[in-house]
Amino acid sequence: MVIQPKFRNNIFMNAHPVGCAVEVRRQIDYVRSKGTLAGGPKKVLVVGSSTGYGLASRIVAAFGCGAETFGVAFEKEGSDKRPGTAGWYNTIAFEREAKGAGLACGSLNADAFSNEVKAETARRLKESSGKVDLVVYSLASPVRTDPVSGEMYKSVLKPIGKPYSARSVDMMTGQIKDFSVESASQVEIDQTVKVMGGEDWQLWIKALQEEDLLAPGVMTVAFSYLGPQMTYAIYREGTIGRAKEHLERTAGLLTERLAPLGGRAYVSVNKALVTRSSAVIPVVPLYISLLFKVMKEKGLHEGCIEQMRRLFAERLYSGEPAAIDAEGRIRIDDLELREDVQQEVARRWAQVRTDNFERLGDVEGYRTDFMNIHGFGVDGVDYDADVEP
């Protein structure tokens, strides 16, 4: 079939298999161009491995460190009638490239929140030699079913305490408009923490430890975001922020659990990027477009793959203990939050309107990234050609 992009309310409804494959190869080529990381991991589990930071970290582990990787993700397979999700095609492309390079890898397409998937992952990991020395937790989902009670929790993106009003943008039209979001109830806050906090991360480490699958000195890392003051009300001080705080506290508990192995758990606070999740957070697309323009002008811009290569090379596997902030977090949002960057973004934020948005913000760059993560708008791909979905 010929696959053209379909999107609604800043959400893509389809993906292009060839475009996704080209994007995966682009990330692989970048990592290869940086050379091999000495002292990197040998056997890596990535939970949430099909897109964004999870996919990028898997690529760095495999093609930058020569590691065996196993990925868990829950994606929709393509059929004769409709395309699959981007993550489905990314996983196929990664495995094809990794096996072609002689790198051991395996994947499981299933609900990572379930006990059964944890058990099956452990079984599969035992089939190969060696224990896991790095666990990357990069799961992003709007819902989670409790593996014991069977109760389904749903996350929400809302402020806490009072309604929130601000400006945002429809990135497909470039229209800047005001919006309002009602404050969250306590039930909504609690459920968001259940879905996006650290509980499932803990369950993964517990399951692996009980199966004696963790190597001495094992590290585990999950991802968070802090961002600037202008997005705090909807993000860091909202329901998602509560979940991220729980995730960050969980790192301390896991470090205690891993102490007998000489292991350590980290939360890496990363830069704002265009992802399937960030595209639907009010305020954030407008902020990101201004941020990208400023960081590109200053030669500081990074995407997912550049961030993960820097995380591995300069923090996790630099040969020195990872640099952390006062709360124990790794900070690779350091370039985003640099004072000169944030001052210029704030200046543009105060001025931006629909009629000057393309001058002040990186509209084209944002749209290109948004298209690329679904396999569209990728250079060298013939979008009028028939493809196998």
Q: Catalytic residue positions?
A: 235
Residue indicated by tokens 């944890």: 118
Longest CA span, the chain = 60
* Strands 175-181, 214-224: pairing kind: unpaired
CA angle 312, 292, 369 (to 5 degrees): 75
Residue indicated by tokens 């893509």: 12
Q: Cα-atom radius of gyration of the chain, to the nearest Å?
A: 20
Task: List, in sequence order, every residue forming a beta bridge with 47; answer none if it has no partner.
Answer: 72, 137
- 196, 205 Cβ separation under 8 angstroms: no
What DSSP designation does 14 have?
Answer: -
Question: Token pair for residue 387?
Answer: 């493809």
| DSSP-assigned states of every residue in 225-274 | ----GGGTTTTTTSHHHHHHHHHHHHHHHHHHHHGGGT-EEEEEE-----
- 210, 254 Cβ separation under 8 angstroms: no
Distance CA 255, CA 219 (A): 9
Please give the single-letter amino acid code of residue 293. Answer: K
* Strands 105-109, 11-12: pairing kind: unpaired
- 59, 28 Cβ separation under 8 angstroms: yes
